[in-house]
Structure formats: C-alpha cells, structure tokens
Amino acid sequence: TATLTRSVAVTVAGAPTARLDVPWDNYLITRRDTFEIRGRAWTDTQDPEFPAAPVLKPIVYQTGWDYYRVAWEAVAGEVSYILQESEDAHFADVQTYAPTTALFLDMTDQAVGTYYYRVKARNAYGDSFWSNVVSVTVTPDPAGLQAAAAPEAVLADYQPVVEINIRPVEDGSDNWVAVDAVTAGLGDWWDWTYTWEDLPEEDGVEYLVQVRALDLAGNFDVALVDTVTVTISNAETPIYLPLIARRWPPVPLPPTLSVPSNDGLGNYTLAWTYPHTQFTPTSYELQEATDEAFTSPTVFANATSPREFTGKEAGTYYYRLRGINIHGPGEWSNVEMVVAQSPDFFDDFTNPDSGWFVGWAQRYNWYTDYHGNYHEGWQDVAEMSYRDGTYRIYVPKDYRAYGDVDTWFVWPAEMAPLPAEMTPVPDSYCIEIRGRVANGRIDASGDPQPYWAHWGIVFGANEDLSTIYTFQLNSHSNVGIVGYHNHVYPGNRDQRRQHENIEFGIYDWPGTEGHFSGSFGGGILHPATLRVEVVGQEARFYVDGQQAAVANIPGMPRAQIGLVGGSYEITPVEIAFDYFHYEPNCVITP
C-alpha cells in the first residue's frame, strides 16, 4: 500500500551562437567568381569575452568647417578601438586609423565630400563586430594594446553545426546549407568559412546573408540568427570607345616632375624621370613662372636632372617640364609649386591670395537693438577682405558687441604661429604698417565720423592667443598700448571669434591716462604709418616717424604678430591697411 515517488533533474542546454564577420551589413560585392563568407560560433557553455560592438555617436558639424570629431560609446573590457573612414557607403575603399584607447578621433583639413565611419573594439580575445555607420557631408603607437595574458581556454562540450542561408531580398526563398569548414580558435570558439560559388551577375540587387548554429539535437534559437544585407553590382556595362588611332607625331609622353628637397628659404632641388618606354626624349625643356597659367615663363632649355636653385627671392614659383625628340616637344609634366620665404616678410596686399583671412567673423551674441528687439545667436560681425590694393576690416552698422568692445585680430597665414626662421632672433625685431580709417558713420553734416575706430599692430602674442599685445591709433589721433589677457579663441583660426572675458592691461608712459593719449597721425580718414621696435622686453612705438612711447613689458610673448582693428562703440567702421612689413634683427632707431 506504500507510494513510491522518484524524481530526476533534466538540464536543457541553450542553443549555440553563430555570428557573421564578413560581409558586414551594406557590403558591396563587385566580383563575379567566388566570395568567402567568414564568422564565429560558440556554444552556450562557453563565454568568449569578445568586446561588444561600439555605438558611434552622431557627428556634430557646422557648414564651412573642415574639421569635426568622430566619437563613440565606451565598451566594457576593451583594450583599444579601430576606426575606419570611407567615401563610399559600402566601405569598399577604406582608410583604417591606428588603434586608439580614446573614445574619439578629431578629423582636420577634410576636403569637400561625404565621409562614412564605423568602429570596432579590440581586446585580448579578438575584435568586436563593426558598429553602426554614421556619415557627415562637407596613427600612433597603439599604447592601449598592452600585452595581455592569453585567456584560459574553455573547452566546449560539443561543436555546433553552422548553417548559412543566402537569398535575394525580393522574391527569394530560404536554402539553409552547412558551411564549408569550422576550425577551432583559441579553444572557446570556432572560426567558420563558406565560399559563395558562382556569384550571380546582378546590377544593384540586394541579398540576405544569414547564419545560425545548431546544437546536437539540431535545434537553433531564432533570436540568434545573424543577418546582413549585401548588394551585388557586378553586371557588365558596355563602354563605347571613340576611334583609336596610332599616336602621331610620336613626341615624348609627360615626364614626372618632383621636388626632392626644399628648405623653404629659396634653396631647393627639382628632379624628374621619364616613366615610359616609348618616344624617349633627347632633351628637356623646364619652365618657371610666378603664376599657374605660365603667362610669362622663364625657359631653361636642355635642362638636366637634378636641377638646383639657391638664393631665390621670396615668392611662389611654378614649374613644369616637357621632353623633346626629333618630332618636336612632347606633353607637359605635372606642375610643381615651390614657395620661397624670407625672414624679411612684406605684403602690400595687392595679391588677394597672399594668405590673410578672407570672410565674415562670427560671435555668439545677445543684445537689444535700437528698436527694443532682443537678439541672441551667432552673428556675422566683422568682414575681412582684399579690396583696391588694401586689406580691410569692416564692422557693419547696428552691431553691438559685449559692452562696448569690438576688436578683431588677423594674422598672416604663413606666420601664424611664426615658423622657426621667422621667429625674432636673437632678441630684436621691427614691425611697420600703413593704414587708415577708410569709412565710418555719416553724421548730420554728411561727413563720415568713425568715432572710436581704432587700428594698429599686434606686436606680440603667445601661440594659444590668450595674451595679446597691441599698438593702436584711434580716430581721434590718439595712440595707446593695449594688452589683452585671458583672451579666448574658440573654434578654428578662420572663425576669428572672441569672447567677452577680456581683461585690459594698459602700459602708460609719463603724462598718459586711460587707453589712449597724445595726438598723432593725420586724423580721421588720413593714412598713418605705425612702427614697433622690440629689443628684449622693451618696445618703442612710432607714428609717422615720431616716437609716441617706450614701454617695458616683462615676459612679453613673441610667437605671433599681425593686425588689429575695429570700433569701441559706433559703427559702421572700415579699416584699410596698405602694407605690412616684419623685419627680424632690424636696425633699431637710436
């Protein structure tokens, strides 16, 4: 009459996992013979510590920038990240950046175009799968890849069966087949491969590629089926060629011109090769010009390679080369540009491409206009341009800056920061400019009255522009020495923005009060010549040859020099500069 109860424990294993590595989603296949598909697989008893795929953040970009930041979310257990860039959404042609431990990479000097990015994480076990793809329109020693102990192998209790399914996205039917090979990795996963034979000839047709892993009982988890979409574009495209005739006359083909050495100071070497086997030249003609159109070139006949140039005057030179044989001169080579600089820098602004900033400067501003309307946001507040043989800084009407300060600094591109050969050495240099207030507000009498307009020389600044020293002449014919401290220059140099946290340090001389003092120059709308001579920490200041002041400025930086102009209150104001001259080791006025 007794009742006997027996029980048993049953463990049901989870389905194994299979993942695709190649191809990735949105892959473009252009070949026609075979394509190898690769991936990984592991059982539920294993726990391979592959890093998870990172997540790329949206790229913040503003029209006109040539730089931006590509950033991603951190992945647990990673050692480093690998970022890829492509101008093709399918990543058929990629640039792979060196592994980095940072969570971002800054892209600079980017040309106009659309760029696509993806990133993967890497640790001692291997690489993660690729992240999502983000796009934007317009390689260092991987310190994080530190040696890591080899992971302890976790042996699986069985090897899963990996199956693959390839079918068109539209009107395709499933056909699951076993992969070609499954090979052991480090002991706790398998690498598998499958060769897609005889790829179909298609023109932009999308296919699904799916993979799954089966356990010993032939079961799989639907949630663990990995799927990507690829596009096949390998169809034949007819190309209709024009009539092909034999080359005649058989003059030389283009040589290849190069600049193997250039010290930047007018000493450089040109060299060339003839990378062809036909129509060999018997001599070469080299041309030199100061414009890309070679309007009035200097011709060097019977030139030989290499050709050295020494002591060339400062300027930009263009070179091209062609071979000559008994049939005549051949095709021109590539054009090489050489820039020769001189420590003595002079610009009369007659060349609108001489390198100074051109365009509108912006500032984030908030103010109430004369009509009582409140405004906030980025504003175009000053325009820099070349015009009528001068360089100009223009502040338009009805603009109010923070408080009553609206000052703009501009630097010559090839001297910001000063290259080594331009740095004031050993301890003295001179800067001279000629300028004027070119226009201003019109008063009731009809005369331009640019009250509070000012312009002058930046005679010393550090590399990050947080400290700037200037010598200025204002519209009342007064001069002053103004030091800007804790100055902020956000963004890139070409945006020329300044913020409100500026402290003024005024260097007075006997009899001086306030920002400006004395009476110099020709007054409103009249040109004047300003000159600063620096010897050690002493600076001497001149207006039209008349000494205005001498100041001792301890610790004065001298990494950058340039121009300053603007208005302290009333606009519009336009400043015109006739020339800018910098001379190291100059003769100092006694």
182-202, pLDDT tens digit by residue?
987 655 788 899 999 989 988
Confirm whether pTM is higher than 0.75.
Answer: no
| % of the chain at pLDDT higher than 90 | 35
Q: Which residue, 230, 90, 226, 89, is CA-closest to 168?
A: 230
**What per-residue confidence (pLDDT) applies to 442?**
46
**Are the CB atoms for 548 and 529 separated by under 8 Å?**
no
- Average pLDDT of 73-91? 87
Query: For residue 74, what are the contacts with CB-CB under 8 A and spacing of at least 6?
Result: 54, 103
- Average pLDDT of 113-134? 88
**What per-residue confidence (pLDDT) applies to 485?**
73
Average pLDDT, the chain: 80
**What per-residue confidence (pLDDT) applies to 422?**
56
Task: Give per-residue pLDDT as tens, 461-493.
Answer: 888 777 888 898 887 777 888 887 766 543 333
In the numeric block, the tokens 């000053």 are attached to 382
- Average pLDDT of 277-303? 95
What CA–CA distance (Å, rounded) separates 317 from 540? 37
Q: Does the pLDDT value for residue 363 go beyond 80?
A: no
- Average pLDDT of 84-91? 88
Q: Which two tokens stand for residue 559?
A: 């990494």
Task: Give per-residue pLDDT as tens, 526-543.
Answer: 789 999 999 888 899 999
Mean pLDDT is lowest, of 92-96, 119-123, 556-560, for: 556-560
Q: Which two tokens stand for residue 528?
A: 């004047």
What CA–CA distance (Å, rounded) separates 468 from 514? 18
What CA–CA distance (Å, rounded) separates 282 from 184? 63
**Are the CB atoms for 462 and 485 separated by under 8 Å?**
no
Q: How confident is the model at residue 342 (pLDDT cuts 50, 70, 90)?
A: low
Task: Give per-residue pLDDT as tens, 294-339.
Answer: 999 999 999 999 999 987 876 789 999 999 999 999 999 999 999 8
Task: Give per-residue pLDDT as tens, 229-255.
Answer: 999 998 887 888 877 767 788 999 999
Q: Does the pLDDT value for residue 257 go beyond 80?
A: yes
Q: Does the pLDDT value for residue 147 go beyond 50?
A: no
**What per-residue confidence (pLDDT) applies to 521?**
57
DSSP codes, 130-142: ----EEEE-----
**What per-residue confidence (pLDDT) applies to 274?**
96
Q: Does the pLDDT value for residue 525 go beyond 70?
A: no
What CA–CA distance (Å, rounded) separates 546 from 544? 6
Task: Give per-residue pLDDT as tens, 3-45.
Answer: 888 888 887 778 888 888 889 888 888 888 899 999 888 887 7
Check residues 517 and 342 and name the one with the higher pLDDT.
Answer: 342
Let me know how many helices (H) and strands (E) the chain has, helices first: 0, 39
What CA–CA distance (Å, rounded) separates 509 from 532? 15
Check residues 396 and 98 and name the one with the higher pLDDT.
Answer: 98
CA dihedral 170, 173, 178, 179 (to 10 degrees): -10
Q: Does the pLDDT value for residue 416 go beyond 70?
A: no
**What per-residue confidence (pLDDT) applies to 51?**
82
Q: How confident is the model at residue 435 (pLDDT cuts 50, 70, 90)?
A: very high
Q: Does the pLDDT value for residue 512 go beyond 50?
A: no
Mean pLDDT is lowest, of 94-98, 350-354, 359-363, 367-371, for: 367-371
**What per-residue confidence (pLDDT) applies to 92?**
79
Three-class DSSP labels, 349-368: CCCCCCCCCCEEEEEEEEEE
- Average pLDDT of 262-275? 88
- Average pLDDT of 561-588? 83
Mean pLDDT is lowest, of 206-220, 327-341, 371-385, for: 371-385
CA dihedral 44, 45, 51, 53 (to 10 degrees): 0
| % of the chain at pLDDT higher than 70 | 80
**Are the CB atoms for 386 and 358 separated by under 8 Å?**
yes
Mean pLDDT is lowest, of 83-97, 221-235, 495-509, 571-585, for: 495-509
- Average pLDDT of 435-462? 71
